[in-house]
Amino acid sequence: MSTGHSKAAKEFLKNQTYAKWHDATFWAVRSKRDNMAYGLDEWEQLREKASQIKRHTITHLDEYLDQFATNAEKNGCIVHWAKDANEFNEIVYGILKNHNVKKIVKSKSMLTEECGMNPYLEEHGIEVVETDLGERIIQLKGQAPSHIVMPAIHLNHDDVGELFEEKLGSEKGNHDPTYLTYVARLSLRNEFLTADAGMTGGNFGIAETGDIVVCTNEGNADMSTSCPKLHIAAIGLEKIIPNYDCLAVFQRMLCRAGTGQPTTTFTSHFRKARPTAHPMHIVLVDNGRSEWIGNPEHWEALKCIRCGSCMNTCPVYRRSGGYSYSYFIPGPIGINLGMLRDPQKHSGNVSACTLCNSCQTVCPAKVNLGDQIYLWRQQLDEFGTANPEKKLICKGLGTVYGSSGIYNLGTALAHWANIIPSPLMNCGLNPWAEGHKMMEFPKKPFHKLIKEIEK
Amino acid sequence: MSNKEDILKKYRANVREKYDMPDLSDIKAITYNDPLVQFIKMTESVGGHVIEVKEGQDINELVKEMYPDAKEIASNLPEVTIATRNPDTVGRARDLNGTDVGIIRGQFGVAENACVWIPQTMKEKAVCFISENLVILLPKSQIVNNMHEAYKRIKFDETYDGYGTFISGPSKTADIAQVLVMGAQAARSATILLLPE
Amino acid sequence: MKIGLFIPCYVDVVYPQVGVATYKLLKHLGLDVTYPLNQTCCGQPMANAGFEKQAIPLAEKFEDKFKEFDYVVAPSVSCTAFVKLNYSRLLEGKHECLTSSKIMDVVEFLHDVIKVNHPLGTFPHKVSLHNSCHGVRELGLSSPSEEHVTPFNKIKDLLNLVEGIQVLEPERPDECCGFGGMFAIEETAVSAQMGLDKVQRHMKTGARFITGPDCSCLMHMAGVAKKQGLNVEFKHVVEILAAGL
């Protein structure tokens, strides 16, 4: 009874040294988040407000989107609307082509990953340079991100050292992270200075003012937009929030929840292009969001602010890593978004969860992640992806539990399992025996013992 | 029908139950007995430095003392006399590369997280990021407690009204094996000069 | 106050002594407790696996068996949580649902309803407390470590009434043990790793016993511990509360 995830997780855990480091590293981030949360008496109040703000906003999003676009246009920005990933890529390419862009530098955007923008632009002859250090590392390595905030976490400093030796000409054998960061700085500095355009994502879009707000620690979004003469901002519909009072709530929680810092180094508001640059372009992207809002069990996934704290707290993510999941976003939010994106393709992730609910207890916007995973499981049969063995087992359980007669007979015989020879009990057909020594079945079940006690 | 209309129409049609905006005025946000003390503490904890400028002290002398080897200093501030470059008069933003010290003005600081609100007040905002070391002049009485207070007062410059940013300490990253390194793509150090009123 | 005792399927078959301890403890406290015969299962295993509709006939049976009682008490946080949080939804339009508001886990019942405040049994040992996920995050038996709330732990409060006991908590006090029902046989590697990590953290406290409010967690950890040759014992909370009575 295995899935893509369970097989990949098994492989992941074979390297016990790395697996323990991965688990400890993300638990440390969770702990830092805890310290932030315990340090603000208003933390739970903020979570509740954030949840309510999001519920209001995403159920009135058409109004806020209209307000945002109107204000952005009043500011002199050019606003585009992309109904899906393909349209997004075409729009971006069109803008770049019109400005004769050969090279674009970009800051981190899960949305551009979602739309497959980089390969599209590269196919069309445009060089794309990721400038978030983690994203740049995996770009040079030709890999996908394994976490939405720490995309290169699966690589250690030797992996990065060897990569930089090969791709950036760094000093052979010098794998000190400070040195490697400096090598990347110099390399990226050159890219910022010679790029024709810069692209950012958007952590938030402010309806009342038309601002695109981008939060980074590295300053790469600001470098990407301060030197090249063209700035394109890509933002998913659901990232629009009403006003600055709302922004304060989210800005205070985003980094505390995601990395355990009180703030990102830079919280930048882009209202219009700088005077020496071309007008700023903003691309609003739907790509399924206008459908998901209508899903009665899963619309609250749109509240997500992409902080990553659900992954950090997930005991399964920590012990299986981002690459074990079939969707490009891993962990609890990834399981849910993957199912919204393509339920047939991503059903395997849905069982990568013990329903411990730590994720929804940590989520700054109170997305009901664990509850939603439970609900997705109920739909697998309808999607045609329910595991047949599981289905059979549950049918069997249903029969046994459905009849007291069968149940009582079964439980009377259970203790005979104690004498089944070990090689037979621990064979491949008994997955419980893989990780456990079989339990002893007492001679008498409780329902027999109670009769003796009551006498 | 335009893409915009298509998308908005579809969204509108799919929304089910609607929810009201909550009241945000009852948020009990953190406040400090001495916001300035907290601001200084937080700045240091995020890797920044704070220097309290004394009454009558010349900030130009101070910057020269802080960076004796600095060759290129970029600023458009009238009180800065030691600038070798001016972000208002450079030909291109990239000409600011190689700046050892960029000196800019902050409007106010935020105690809870060491953020300083810096609206764009120069032609090329690259000076805020491209400089190896950043020096931010900040009036020491202008410290608010938290981001709720901050977002009630941020203002953009009248001329350069397209951009503003909160900067908290130097740029940093932990993307390589989770080891924290100061100085990622922007300034490698950030120093706040607290100005007396 | 009429109490109906619900003994979940796996407690019935694998840990009947937990059922016995629960019955004896409630009786010792002078309570009117009945064990209705022919109980089977609450339906949680199938529901968590994605077949919650199969829990409906079981829920109907459960309702019929327990609706006359004032409280339904079970020594299992996961089963209690399942009935409490899902039965009214599952039975809507099909069958009345009274038990979802009557069911309580034995710990929360003793703590919140009976408000036990006097010494209980004797158990002069160091125990490491396992805060089962359903107890923490669905029944509110203790403050979740994720939340900024005033810390509390009902299980600990009750255990501290036992003479001679020393109650300790492991690092990562409410991280999941990795059982998760079908998860344990579907994601065998991750489940076993989580179980082992949890047992090792419990053992690091120096405790000889690991105790918690749910036998499924204990069953999983015990199986992993035995397989790895780890020398630690397991007892359900109610067994300790009733020890020596």
Band the pLDDT of A351: cuts 50, 70, 90: very high
- Closest partner residue to A293 among B14, B154, B167, by Cβ? B14
For the ranges A223-237, A284-298, A433-447, C164-178, the lowest mean pLDDT is seen at: A433-447
Tell me the count of A-C CB pairs closer than 8 A. 216
With CB atoms and an 8 Å threshold, state whether A52 touches B184: no
Mean pLDDT computed over every residue of chain C: 96
For residue B1, is pLDDT > 70? Answer: no
Q: What is the distance between the alpha carbons of residues A314 and A316, in angstroms, rounded to a whole number? A: 5
Say how many CA atoms lie within 13 Å of A446 toward its Cβ. 27
Find the angle CA(A292)-CA(A113)-CA(B14) to the nearest 5 degrees. 10
Task: Give the chain C residue whose CA is nearest to the CA of A353.
Answer: C183
Considering the entire predicted model, what is its pTM?
0.96
Average pLDDT over residues B151-169: 97
Report the CATH number of the C126-241 domain.
3.40.50
CA A96 to chain centre: 28
Q: What is the distance between the alpha carbons of residues C139 and A368, in angstroms, rounded to a whole number? A: 16
- Closest partner residue to C54 among A6, A398, A432, by Cβ? A398
For C11-48, how does the pLDDT look when each residue is reduced to its tens digit (9 = 90+)? 999 999 999 999 999 999 999 999 999 898 899 999 99
Supply the pLDDT for residue A416: 78
For A302-318, how does the pLDDT look when each residue is reduced to its tens digit (9 = 90+)? 999 999 999 999 999 99
For residue A454, is pLDDT > 70? Answer: yes
Q: What are the φ and ψ backbone dihedral angles of B60, each rounded to 5 degrees?
A: -65, -45
Report the CATH number of the C2-113 domain.
3.40.50
With CB atoms and an 8 Å threshold, state whether A265 touches B186: yes
Supply the pLDDT for residue A396: 85
Average pLDDT over residues A109-137: 97
With CB atoms and an 8 Å threshold, state whether C37 touches A447: yes
CB B111 within 8 A of CB B143: yes
Find the angle CA(B128)-CA(B134)-CA(B136) to the nearest 5 degrees. 90
Min Cα separation A41/chain B (Å)? 7
Supply the pLDDT for residue B132: 98
For residue A388, is pLDDT > 90? Answer: no
For A393-413, how does the pLDDT look when each residue is reduced to its tens digit (9 = 90+)? 888 888 888 888 888 877 777
With CB atoms and an 8 Å threshold, state whether A193 touches B42: no
Sort out which chain C residues have CB atoms less than 8 A from A394's CB and list them.
45-46, 49-51, 54
B186 touches chain A (CB under 8 A): yes
CB A220 within 8 A of CB A290: no
With CB atoms and an 8 Å threshold, state whether B22 touches A153: no
B87 touches chain A (CB under 8 A): no
CB B50 within 8 A of CB B44: yes
For residue A455, is pLDDT > 80? Answer: no
Supply the pLDDT for residue A429: 75
Give the start-to-end residue ranges of the domains of chain B: 29-195
Supply the pLDDT for residue A313: 98
Chains in touch with C (≥3 Cβ pairs < 8 A): A
For residue B153, is pLDDT > 90? Answer: yes
Supply the pLDDT for residue A401: 83
Supply the pLDDT for residue B145: 98
Q: Identical fold at C2-113 and C126-241?
A: yes
| ipTM rounded to 2 decimals | 0.98
For the ranges A25-34, A146-155, A242-251, the lowest mean pLDDT is seen at: A146-155
Q: Distance of CA A65 to CAs A119, A239, A365, A366, B157, Å?
A: 29, 10, 20, 23, 26
Q: What are the φ and ψ backbone dihedral angles of C42, each rounded to 5 degrees?
A: -85, -15
For residue B2, is pLDDT > 90? Answer: no
B89 SS3 class: coil
Which tokens belong to C188? 């065998």
Q: Closest Cα to residue A202, out of A75, A68, A297, A45?
A: A68
For residue B84, is pLDDT > 70? Answer: yes
* Residues of B (58-77) whose Cβ lies below 8 Å from A: none
Average pLDDT over residues A148-159: 92
Average pLDDT over residues C94-103: 94
Min Cα separation C195/chain A (Å)? 9
- Closest partner residue to A402 among C11, C57, C174, by Cβ? C57
Report the CATH number of the B29-195 domain.
3.40.50.10420
Tell me the count of A-B CB pairs closer than 8 A. 264
Mean pLDDT computed over every residue of chain A: 95
CATH numbers and ranges of domains, chain A: 4-29+308-383 (no CATH), 56-131+197-296 (3.40.50.10420), 138-195 (no CATH), 403-454 (no CATH)
Give the start-to-end residue ranges of the domains of chain C: 2-113, 126-241
For A186-245, how does the pLDDT look when each residue is reduced to its tens digit (9 = 90+)? 999 999 999 999 999 999 999 999 999 999 999 999 999 999 999 999 999 999 999 999
For residue B97, is pLDDT > 90? Answer: yes
Min Cα separation A184/chain B (Å)? 8
Average pLDDT over residues A429-439: 86
Q: What is the distance between the alpha carbons of residues A432 and C224, in angstroms, rounded to a whole number? A: 10
Q: Directed axis angle between helix A446-454 and helix A404-413, to 10°?
A: 90
Average pLDDT over residues B159-180: 95
